Amino acid sequence: KIPAEYRPERNLAAGIEIGFGDLEKGFSEADYIEEHVYKMHYASHCAIEPHAAVAYFDERGRLVIISTTQVPFHVRRITGAVLDIPVGMIRVIKPRVGGGFGGKQEVILEPIAALVAWRNKRPARVVFSRREVFVSSRTRHPMRIRLKTGVKEDGAITAIEMDGLMNSGAYGTHALTVLANAGGKVLPLFNKISNLKFSGRTVYTNLPVGGAYRGYGATQGYFAFNQQIDMIARKAGLDITDFIKKWHIKEGETSEVFKALGEGKEGVSQIVRSCKLDECIDAGASAIGWQDKRGKRISSGKDRVKGMGVAVAMQGSGIPEIDMAAASMKLNEDGSFNLFVGATDIGTGSDTILAQIAAEVLTVPAEKIIVLSSDTDLTPFDTGAYASSTTYISGAAVEKCALDIKDQLINTASDMLGVPKDGLILRMGKAVDTKTGRKAPFEKISYHSLYIKNQFQIQAQASHTASESPPPFIAQFAEIDVDKKTGEIHVVQFVSAVDCGMPVNPALVEGQIEGAAVNGLSYALCEEYIFDSKGKMLNPGFWDYKIYTDRDIPEMKTIVVNSFEETGPFGAKSVGEIGINGPAPAVANAVYDAVGVRMYETPMTPEKVWTRMKEAGVI
């Protein structure tokens, strides 16, 4: 088992170590060692809507909590446990939420609102100010990563060692799982390295508390990993895109890391069944003009030099053998369907996606699916919106449920039409006999089942969990101009090519990838917590904490490369997190391509770039 360590008396919130092969032998066989330390910083999720919770009592004296949460069922469970209130006395409702990105995955304000309401028997409301969101909610964990690789002259990697030191802040939230993901989501990508070690520690400090943030540890790991492979490819005289194609995991392959390292526990063995990373690399490189611009250091104006960079990543689709979702449906007299899901739409479009999956099974327009989500009294259980799980896990539950409804429709139509059910199919909201052409519209099937014969409600429920977590893949390319006089990085163009299986809704896929890419660029270049000597944050607001706005966004292009994931609903995998992992390393690699200096620390502000150029004698 993973030797997870917890020693609060030494400020150690978590510790972890896994490995395989013979690390010393691998390094001894190398022609040279590439070893560097990379640092990634604090970040706020910057959801436009702050954390908020309202608690009141309904007409039966039960406590109702309306919350901007990603995890309504966890809110109910934890609030009940904290306040010693039976779960049956609590109802949690998630309304439309103005963004989450992981920041609303924890239960922070809900027990406070509930306690005030419970004690005073009056409604209570708690809303964070923006300052409180920055300081008192959750952040991305800052992390220092030491990455050591043993390399042959031809670029073959004989050994790799990754060691992480992560700042958890005042509490140990997600201390083990985010740390584990820095290795678990990154190291399987190059599965042909025989000697590997991953270790890490998470420590307590008197600074803001880390938590779940889109990318969840993988973002920190890929910042180091992608820069290191760029260095190795350049020393071997190889184009990094060709180098990646040779070394990355392929369809039908596995990695020992999958089994050794899960999210804070032992992992699960799995085989990659769908991977179009080669095609993503080719499509992205063609779209950005990789061969024409990389390595040319083209002048793009006075003191400006052009650079090109690329980064690749894989993620996951839910947490295997942990995440679970359920769905229920019923047929109405007009041929519409009510779909009840615990899945939590936080602006990701999951209500739309789940409606589309049900509609596809039942051959009706998505408008015929009436979705109700995230009400612990009315909807079935779902672990929540995190870990890129909704399409893959919740979508599979909806697909199962809709298939059950489909069988009931066909059975009832068989009774109505007096024909064998084997000859019936669903087509455009009707059950159709393929031999005679006779049809039974869903409206008539509903009336028949409810009012005429053998009355029953056509309804179903289904649950789903998974024993594997199929990874999506992405290649992200950055074209930048570096001002050698000021150190300013101007992102000219950013291209993402993603394999997320078969996209259920291509427009929403594009929105997820471009939103994540902008999020990642903002984090890479300008977002920064500034503290005084005692750890007090000095810039807890959007006036002094710079984030990307419309004026900063470069030309964006997203290419969706279709694959088919046989374990996913209609071949789908996840897409929500993976797009944030590549911007920082892609830009860092582009800086080297432009001016020949490496950026080992984020944010890559003009001051830091200028200082690195001066140290290297570039200016």
Rounded Cα distance between 433 and 198, Å, is 59
289 backbone φψ class: left, alpha, beta (φ>0; ψ -120 to 50): left
Whether residue 148 is contained in a domain is answered as: yes
Q: Is residue 546 predicted with pLDDT exceeding 60?
A: yes
* Same domain membership, residue 599 and residue 520: yes
What's the number of domains the chain is made of?
A: 4
pTM: 0.97
* Same domain membership, residue 612 and residue 535: yes
3-state secondary structure 480-504: EEEECCCCCEEEEEEEEEEECECCC
DSSP state, 526?
Answer: T
Phi (first) and psi of residue 323, to 5 degrees: -70, 140
Average pLDDT, the chain: 97
Rounded Cα distance between 168 and 175, Å, is 6
Whether residue 204 is contained in a domain is answered as: yes
Rounded Cα distance between 157 and 235, Å, is 12
By C-alpha distance, which of 148, 137, 191 is closest to 35? 148
* Same domain membership, residue 536 and residue 424: no
* Same domain membership, residue 606 and residue 501: yes
Question: Domain range for residue 74?
Answer: 52-134
Whether residue 220 is contained in a domain is answered as: yes
Whether residue 312 is contained in a domain is answered as: no
* Same domain membership, residue 66 and residue 127: yes
Average pLDDT of span 154-167? 98
Average pLDDT of span 230-243? 98
* Per-residue pLDDT at 265: 87
Whether residue 6 is contained in a domain is answered as: yes
* Same domain membership, residue 552 and residue 412: no
Phi (first) and psi of residue 260, to 5 degrees: -75, -30
Domain boundary among 70, 100, 134: 134
* Per-residue pLDDT at 90: 98
Average pLDDT of span 235-261? 97
Query: Per residue in 277-316, pLDDT tens?
Result: 999 999 999 999 999 999 999 998 889 999 999 999 999 9
* Same domain membership, residue 338 and residue 443: yes
Q: Is residue 554 predicted with pLDDT exceeding 80?
A: yes
Query: Per residue in 385-403, pLDDT tens?
Result: 999 999 999 999 999 999 9
Rounded Cα distance between 606 and 414, Å, is 71
* Per-residue pLDDT at 455: 97
* Per-residue pLDDT at 301: 85
3-state secondary structure 566-612: CCCHHHECCCCCHHHCCHHHHHHHHHHHHHCCCCCECCCCHHHHHHH
* Per-residue pLDDT at 5: 87
437 backbone φψ class: left, alpha, beta (φ>0; ψ -120 to 50): left
DSSP state, 89?
Answer: G
* Same domain membership, residue 168 and residue 120: no
Q: Which residues, 6 or more positions from 574, have their beta carbon under 8 angstroms from its beta carbon? A: 315, 316, 317, 318, 388, 389, 390, 391, 392, 472, 500
Domain boundary among 465, 499, 523: 465
Domain boundary among 434, 465, 496: 465
Query: Per residue in 416-452, pLDDT tens?
Result: 999 999 999 999 999 999 999 999 999 999 999 999 9
CATH of the domain at 341: 3.30.365.10
Query: Per residue in 364-379, pLDDT tens?
Result: 999 999 999 999 999 9
Rounded Cα distance between 75 and 132, Å, is 20
* Same domain membership, residue 563 and residue 497: yes
* Per-residue pLDDT at 264: 84
DSSP state, 139?
Answer: B
Whether residue 105 is contained in a domain is answered as: yes
Whether residue 396 is contained in a domain is answered as: yes
* Same domain membership, residue 198 and residue 150: yes
Write the DSSP assignment of 163-232 as a string of letters: EEEEEEETS-TTHHHHHHHHHHTTGGGSTT-SSEEEEEEEEE-SSPPB---TTTTHHHHHHHHHHHHHHH
* Same domain membership, residue 540 and residue 485: yes
Query: Per residue in 42-75, pLDDT tens?
Result: 999 999 999 999 999 999 999 999 999 999 999 9
Confidence at 1, pLDDT banded by 50, 70, 90? low
Query: Per residue in 190-212, pLDDT tens?
Result: 999 999 999 999 999 999 999 99
* Same domain membership, residue 619 and residue 497: yes
Whether residue 274 is contained in a domain is answered as: no
Query: Per residue in 532-543, pLDDT tens?
Result: 999 999 999 999
Rounded Cα distance between 619 and 610, Å, is 8
* Per-residue pLDDT at 96: 87
